[in-house]
Structure 1
C-alpha cells in the first residue's frame, strides 16, 4: 500500500477497509475490471467526509460505488480509492404526512419499497435489479424503470439530497419540502452525475398512496405504430391511472416464455404489457379497460383475472434480461427516442444491422410509454466477450440511427466509460462547456470518478 494511502487507512476503523475486494472491481457483466489501491466501506457520512478530505488534499482519485449493477462501467475504479457505500443502508425516517422517506445511499431499492409499503405508501421506482441495486446508484444514474410513465424518473422522485463534496464538505438538504425555489437547485446537478461531482450519502424521496386496484393487460399488436396508437388511446381514456406501458418484441417474448416455462399470452409480431392503478378499490376498472380495448379493435389481448395471473404477465416481462443470456454476450443499447419515431428507428436500424452483420439477432423490449428501449444485439460468430471487438461498429450503426431519429444514446443506465465519447453527438459544444465548468467548480482537482461520463 502506498505511504499516503497507509496514512488514510490509519484514520479509519479496521472494518471500513476491505482486504479481499476482488469481487467489487469488475462491473456486473465483467466487461471491465478496475484497479484500486484501497477499497473502503465507510460506516457513516462522517467517515465519508474524512476520506474525501484526505483524498482531496492528496489528489487521490475516488470512485463511488453502489450495488455495482450498472452496465456502462461507471462504478469501475481506475486507480486510487474505491468507495463502496453499501454500509450506509439505514432508513432514517418515513413521514406519511409529507409522503416522504429519507434513506441512506446504500439502501437496496427493494428494501425501500418494502419499508414504504409497511407505512402504507408506495415508492414507485421499479427495476429488474431492485433486489440488489442501491438508492445512491439509482440517483447517480437517474434511473427510470417500469413506472416512469406515471411517476417519472429519479429526477422527479428526489426531494432532497445529502452529499459529501470532493473537499469533504457536506451539503445536506433532507427536509421534506415539496417546493423550495431559493437559488440554484444543486440536487438536480447531482442526479445523473454518475459520481463525478460528489458522493451522494442520503436522500429524501417522494412517496405516493398505495394502489388498491391494479388492472393488467397483455395486448398483441401488428406493428409498433399500432402499439403507439394504443398508448395514445389509453392515456386519453384513463389518464394518470396508466402507470406502465411496455413494448415487447416477439423474439424477446419467445426467449422469456421458454426461460419462464410459461406460454406466450397471445401470438403477435409485437406485444404491449400495460397496467392501470387506482388508489381506490374499484370493481369496474377491468371491465372498462376490456371494453375499451375491444371498442378500438384490440381483441388479441388478455386481462389478468387474479394477482397470480398479473404476476405471471410481469414475470414474462421481467425475465427477458435473464432469458436472453442463453444467446451469449450481447452488445447492449439503452436508448430513448421520440415515441412517434420508435417504429421508424426499429425498421431502419434493424435493416442496416442485418445488411452489415449477417445473422445478427436483435432482442428488443422497453418502456414505450416514455420512448426508452433496450435494444440488444447478438452476433452468431461471437457469443462470448469476443463480441466486444465488434462493439464500435455495431454502436455506430445503432447510435447513428438513434441520432437521426432525434433520440439519445442513454436512457437510464448512464454513460460511464462505454458511451462518453458519443456525448458530443447528443450534447452541443455549449452544453459540454457548461458541464465542464460545473465539474471544475465541484471538483477542481478532478478526483471524482475520473474518466467517466464527460469526454476528454
Structure 2
C-alpha cells in the first residue's frame, strides 16, 4: 500500500478533527535543532482512537512517534516519517481519590493542570519543572522526569501508581487502580516509564499525591566550594530529614546571567550558591528560626532566608530563569548528567580545565539538583551563537562524558536519551543490558514501528 492509500484508509478510521493538516510547529523540537517529517499528524481525542491508529499502523508497518508537549531536549518526540501521534487532546482528569492519595489523569494533561487539581483538593503533586506550564504527563513519564523536588519525593518513576498503555498492535493494558502493594509478577509499568515511546503509547496514569505543605522556609546560601555545599547537604539531611524538599546548586556565572535576565539583584556574593527549601505538612512558626540557627552554628553565615512570599518567589525566579537567561550566549551544547553526590566536586573541577584546554574561551554554565547529584552542565563555544555549535558537539561530549563516566555517573539524568545520545548508550549500559532491552523491544514491538531511531543505539 502506497502512502496516499494508507493515509486515506487511516482517515476513514478517525474524525476529521483528529487529523492535523497544519502541524509545522509540532515537527520542530523545542531547541529548534531537529526538524522532523511526518506523512500524517494525528491528535486523537479518545483511547479508542489511539487503539485504532496503533492497530492500523502495526498491520501496515507504519512508524509511529508519540508526542506530548514537545518540550524535550533530546529529539525523542521528533518524527522521522510515518505518523506523529500527538496526545494533547487526551487531557482529562479522570478521578481524584483522596483515600488513596491518588489522581488519575490522561497523558495529555499539562503538568501544571495536575498540580492545580491536586491543590484544589488540598494535596500536592510534587513533580516541578521549569516547563510545567507546557510539558505533559505522558512525556514526563516517558522520560522519567525529575525536577527540583526529587530529593524528597523521587522521580516520576516513584510517583506513578498505575498506567494505561496502548501497545503497538492496539491492545490496551490498563492498571489504573491505586494499589500501593501488588506483587503479582513483573511490574510492567516500569518498562514504559523512561521508555521514550519506544514500547507503546501511554494514555493515562494514576499518580501519587502528598500532603500540601503548610510551612515553607527557603534559604539562599553562599559557599566557597562544592565540597562545602555537599557538606551542608549532609548536615541538613541529618538534621531536617524528610523536610528537605529541594537543594539546588548554582554557579556564580549562572546566577549572574539569571540576575541580569530577571532584573533581580544577586542575594549575596559567593563562588557557589545553594537554594534549599524545607517544608512541613503542619503549620509551625519555629522552622525558619531552627534553619537560621542551624546555618549559623555550622558556619554557613553567608545566607539569606526568605522573609516573605514575594522574596521566596524572587529567589526561586533566579533559579528557574537560568535556562532562559543563557540564550544571549547563543546555542549551548547541553549535558543532563548525574554523578554520585560525593563526586560532584571532582567532576566539576576536572571537566572545566579539560574543556578549556580543548576549546579556549569556552563558557560553562553549571546548575542543577545537588540533592540528587544531577547537574545541567551547559557549554557555549566562543563566537558561535547559532546552531553551528552542534558541529563541535561530539568532541565536547567526549570530554564531558569521559569525566562523567570516570566519576561513576550517567549521561542522562532526567531528560532521556532520544536521538541525541543513543549512540552513547553503550557507555553506560553493558552489552547484556542492551541485549535485554532489544529483546523486550522485539517482544513488544516486533515490527519496530514505535519511535524508530530513538533511545536504542
Whether TM exceeds 0.5 here: the answer is: yes
SS of 1:226's equivalent? helix
1:118 counterpart (117, 120, 131): 120
> Are 2:306 and 1:304 aligned?
yes
Aligned counterpart, 1:149: 151
What are the Cα deviations for residues 395-426 of structure 1, in whole angstroms up to 9, with x where unaligned? 11101110011000000000000000000000
1:244 counterpart (229, 243, 246): 246
C-alpha distance in 1 between matches for 2:183 and 2:155: 20
C-alpha distance in 2 between matches for 1:41 and 1:437: 30
Q: After TM superposition, give the deviation of residue 152 of structure 1 in Å.
A: 0.1
SS of 1:2's equivalent? helix
1:356 counterpart (358, 369, 373): 358
| Structure 1: gaps of 5 or more residues | none
CA RMSD of aligned residues (A): 0.5
Q: After TM superposition, give the deviation of residue 9 of structure 1 in Å.
A: 1.2
C-alpha distance in 1 between matches for 2:17 and 2:427: 44
1:449 counterpart (448, 451, 457): 451
1:48 counterpart (47, 50, 54): 50
Aligned counterpart, 2:213: 211
> Are 2:63 and 1:83 aligned?
no
Q: After TM superposition, give the deviation of residue 381 of structure 1 in Å.
A: 2.7
C-alpha distance in 2 between matches for 1:298 and 1:242: 17
Q: After TM superposition, give the deviation of residue 208 of structure 1 in Å.
A: 0.3
Aligned counterpart, 1:347: 349
C-alpha distance in 1 between matches for 2:345 and 2:332: 22
What are the Cα deviations for residues 407-451 of structure 1, in whole angstroms up to 9, with x where unaligned? 000000000000000000000111001001111111000000010
Aligned counterpart, 2:273: 271
> Are 2:147 and 1:133 aligned?
no
Aligned counterpart, 1:68: 70
Aligned counterpart, 1:195: 197
Matches within 5 A, 1:394-433: 394-433=396-435
SS of 1:376's equivalent? strand
C-alpha distance in 2 between matches for 1:43 and 1:76: 21
Q: After TM superposition, give the deviation of residue 242 of structure 1 in Å.
A: 0.1
Matches within 5 A, 1:283-322: 283-322=285-324
| Structure 2: gaps of 5 or more residues | none
C-alpha distance in 1 between matches for 2:79 and 2:402: 30
Q: After TM superposition, give the deviation of residue 4 of structure 1 in Å.
A: 1.3
SS of 2:96's equivalent? strand
TM-score, L = length of structure 2: 0.99
C-alpha distance in 2 between matches for 1:346 and 1:399: 12
What are the Cα deviations for residues 2-45 of structure 1, in whole angstroms up to 9, with x where unaligned? 21121011110000000101110011011000000000000110
State the number of aligned residues: 455
C-alpha distance in 2 between matches for 1:349 and 1:422: 18
C-alpha distance in 2 between matches for 1:71 and 1:191: 17
C-alpha distance in 2 between matches for 1:104 and 1:180: 22
Aligned counterpart, 1:436: 438
TM-score, L = length of structure 1: 0.99
Q: After TM superposition, give the deviation of residue 326 of structure 1 in Å.
A: 1.0
C-alpha distance in 2 between matches for 1:384 and 1:299: 42
C-alpha distance in 2 between matches for 1:340 and 1:176: 36
C-alpha distance in 2 between matches for 1:289 and 1:388: 44
Aligned counterpart, 2:335: 333
1:103 counterpart (105, 114, 124): 105
Q: After TM superposition, give the deviation of residue 112 of structure 1 in Å.
A: 0.2
SS of 1:107's equivalent? coil
Q: After TM superposition, give the deviation of residue 179 of structure 1 in Å.
A: 1.2
